[in-house]
Chain A
Amino acid sequence: MKKVIRDFGSHLFLTILSVLIIVPVIWVFVNSVKTSAEILLKPLSLPSKLSLDNYVRAWKEAGLGIGFVNSMYVTIITVFFIVVIAAMAAYVLSRKKFLFRLTIEKIFLMGLMLPTFLSMAPLFLLMNGLNLVNSIPGLMLVYIAYSMSFTIFILIAFFNQIPHSLEEAAIIDGCGPWKLFWKVMFPLAKPGLISAAIFNFVGIWNEYILALILINDDQYKTLPLKLANIMMIQQYHTDWGALYAGLVLSFIPVTIFYLIFQKRLIEGSTAGAIKE
């Protein structure tokens, strides 16, 4: 009996929270297929007819199409390089013995503590000096650099788990360090590399602050910047329909990722903190 009451209480509490989380998200989806007039006059009603006009206007007129393409391009290329570069470094840090190995590992870990706000002004000036402000490759370089600490940190743990015997067998077979890494270690670390890629995908797709200080030019803006622009510049003359369609555009890739890789995302993001 008691258990029934307790379960009922938990259900009630969690259902209220779930409604608070899901309803606003659904509201965005529903409004994205309503006309602007309907959105303003009948905010709580369902759409009278399904229309994709908002998406067309968001993509073309509001410039969110450029933002979406830029974000996709930046995210995919950056994630690829993050995983490859971090895996190379993590492999060496996990497997080789050399002078300053621990120091280098510590320097990488330090990055987890340094707040972005500390280096915001100097980073902008550095990029400005290198002519990399308003440049997509520049933004990518910064993203790759900023993702190193976290990615190397999780990949070292993965390489540490791979048994040494496989590597030794490959060396005896005459495998050089280059081949050894690409043909043996890289495939063996695949689960870790996929996790790292998923986390970085979500993180970079959502990133806002670094892009905000490094990109001003409309044609290079990523989706979060474009969205923020609509809100800050247009404020009350906003094309609401296009705005909701834009929000949906920004939700879709990460939501698809979440649906596919949910377990990995949830469990992976907590594993690091629990280990402490």
Chain B
Amino acid sequence: MKQRNDRWAILFFLGPALILYLIFVIYPSINALRMSFYNWRGLGAKTWIGIDNYRRMLEDENFVNALKVTGKYILFQVPLVLILSVIIAISISHFMNTRWFQFYRSIIFFPYILPSVAIAMLWSTIFNPVGGMLNGLLDMVGLDRFMTEWLGKTETAFGSIVFVDIWRMVGFYSILILAAILNIPQDILEAAEIDGAKKFQKTIFITLPMLKDVLQVVIIFTFINTLKVFEMPQLLTAGGPNRSTQPISLYMYEQAFKNFNFGYASAIGVVFLILTMLASLFILKITRGSEG
């Protein structure tokens, strides 16, 4: 009797979460795989075309371009975020047990909780050539020859987006690394000090190696998050000028919701998943591999 009662209770408690999750998360994900083999525009005929969607990608200049742009975002953002967040975390850790610690930590983390749409707009007004803060400041300090249309030119648009994206997320990773620094047992550092290690040596030979696990997490997170970069290019440049800042995510959105190529968009989604998984595996492998 009790057994049966329990079984109903389990079903009842687990039911709502499981049903919603299976319908709205798992089913569409599996369906993406199926749809990637069809030519389908949402309405009308759905024709099986095998791997044609995947073949089409190779010949689609704009897809190849988007793939390259995403690669470029990763190439710039991952190392920059990694280096910056390590430096920030180490700097903040110098103020442990002082009131500055809380102060800096709160400010550095702050952008991470703001809506990314609002961040994009905030920076687009700063970069705006008409009445924008950046050109205004440059003019004020006499550097007016650097005043430009930041988001409208190929030379500056990409860098501007990378800057805003880093501005948004570097705090989160800094705090992640900071938490790991605080977890390093103090006696190891003291022992090194007794052995005559300088501050710099302690950082290089003790702190950084002890942070290996968290740095691995940071690399995977930044990699995956940069792969997904969407709001900043969409809102700051709409992928332009000339698709020079358009990543795969934005191209896929365009295919699905502007051109209504749902089959093709799903195939791009599948490639997206494969890239995510390959990246995680690859990073795990090289960071684990160096352990010997």
State the interface size on chain B (CB cutoff 8 A): 96
- Given known A44-B136, A276-B213, contact A258–B18 (CB-CB < 8 A): no
Q: Flag if B118 contacts A251 (CB, 8 Å).
A: yes
In chain B, residues 162-193, which have Cβ atoms closer than 8 Å to a Cβ of chain A? 167, 171-172, 175-176, 179-180, 183
**Any B CB within 8 A of the CB of A43:** yes
Q: Flag if A111 contacts B21 (CB, 8 Å).
A: yes
Chain A nearest CB, measured from B280 CB (Å): 8
**Any B CB within 8 A of the CB of A40:** yes
Chain A facing B: main interface SS: helix
Taking CB atoms, residues of chain A closer than 8 Å to B94 are 6-7, 10
B25, B31, B221: the one contacting A111 at CB < 8 Å is B25
A25, A111, A124, A126: the one contacting B122 at CB < 8 Å is A25
Taking CB atoms, residues of chain B closer than 8 Å to A176 are 5
**Any B CB within 8 A of the CB of A270:** yes
**Any A CB within 8 A of the CB of B137:** yes
B24, B42, B167, B249: the one contacting A141 at CB < 8 Å is B24
Taking CB atoms, residues of chain B closer than 8 Å to A148 are 17, 20-21, 25
Chain A nearest CB, measured from B111 CB (Å): 6
**Any B CB within 8 A of the CB of A73:** no
**Any B CB within 8 A of the CB of A96:** yes
Chain B nearest CB, measured from A36 CB (Å): 10
Q: Flag if A92 contacts B14 (CB, 8 Å).
A: yes
Across the interface, name the chain A residue whose C-beta is closest to B268. A117
Q: Flag if B115 contacts A144 (CB, 8 Å).
A: no
A-B contacts at CB below 8 angstroms, number = 265
**Any B CB within 8 A of the CB of A136:** no
Contact size class for A? 35 or more
- Given known A96-B10, A119-B269, A202-B113, contact A6–B235 (CB-CB < 8 A): no
Taking CB atoms, residues of chain A closer than 8 Å to B136 are 43-44
A121, A178, A202, A262: the one contacting B262 at CB < 8 Å is A121
Taking CB atoms, residues of chain A closer than 8 Å to B42 are 125, 128
**Any A CB within 8 A of the CB of B278:** no
Chain A nearest CB, measured from B66 CB (Å): 12
Provide the bound-state CA to CA distance between A182 and B28, in Å.
33
In chain A, residues 141-194, which have Cβ atoms closer than 8 Å to a Cβ of chain B? 141-142, 144-146, 148-149, 152, 176-178, 181
**Any A CB within 8 A of the CB of B287:** no
Contact pattern, A 1-22, Cβ under 8 Å of B = 1, otherwise 0: 0100011011101100110111
Taking CB atoms, residues of chain B closer than 8 Å to A255 are 113-114
Q: Flag if A121 contacts B266 (CB, 8 Å).
A: yes
- Given known A7-B94, A152-B17, contact A208–B266 (CB-CB < 8 A): no
Provide the bound-state CA to CA distance between A98 and B8, in Å.
12
B87, B107, B117: the one contacting A21 at CB < 8 Å is B107
B29, B117, B175, B238: the one contacting A208 at CB < 8 Å is B117
In chain B, residues 1-53, which have Cβ atoms closer than 8 Å to a Cβ of chain A? 5-7, 9-10, 13-14, 16-18, 20-21, 23-29, 31-32, 35, 42
Chain A residues with a Cβ under 8 A of chain B: 2, 6-7, 9-11, 13-14, 17-18, 20-22, 24-25, 27-28, 31, 39-41, 43-44, 85-86, 88-89, 91-93, 96, 98, 104, 107-108, 110-111, 113-126, 128, 141-142, 144-146, 148-149, 152, 176-178, 181, 202, 205-206, 208-209, 213, 223-224, 227-228, 230-232, 236, 240, 243-244, 247, 250-251, 254-255, 257-258, 262, 265-267, 269-271, 273-274, 276
Q: Which 8 A-B pairs have the closest CB atoms?
A: A145-B24, A177-B9, A119-B28, A89-B17, A122-B28, A122-B31, A206-B115, A224-B117
Q: Told that A89-B16, A209-B230, A250-B117 touch, could you supply 19 new A-B pairs with CB distance under 8 A?
A: A14-B104, A17-B108, A28-B122, A115-B227, A115-B269, A115-B273, A117-B269, A119-B32, A122-B35, A206-B113, A206-B115, A227-B121, A243-B121, A250-B115, A254-B113, A255-B113, A267-B179, A270-B179, A273-B176
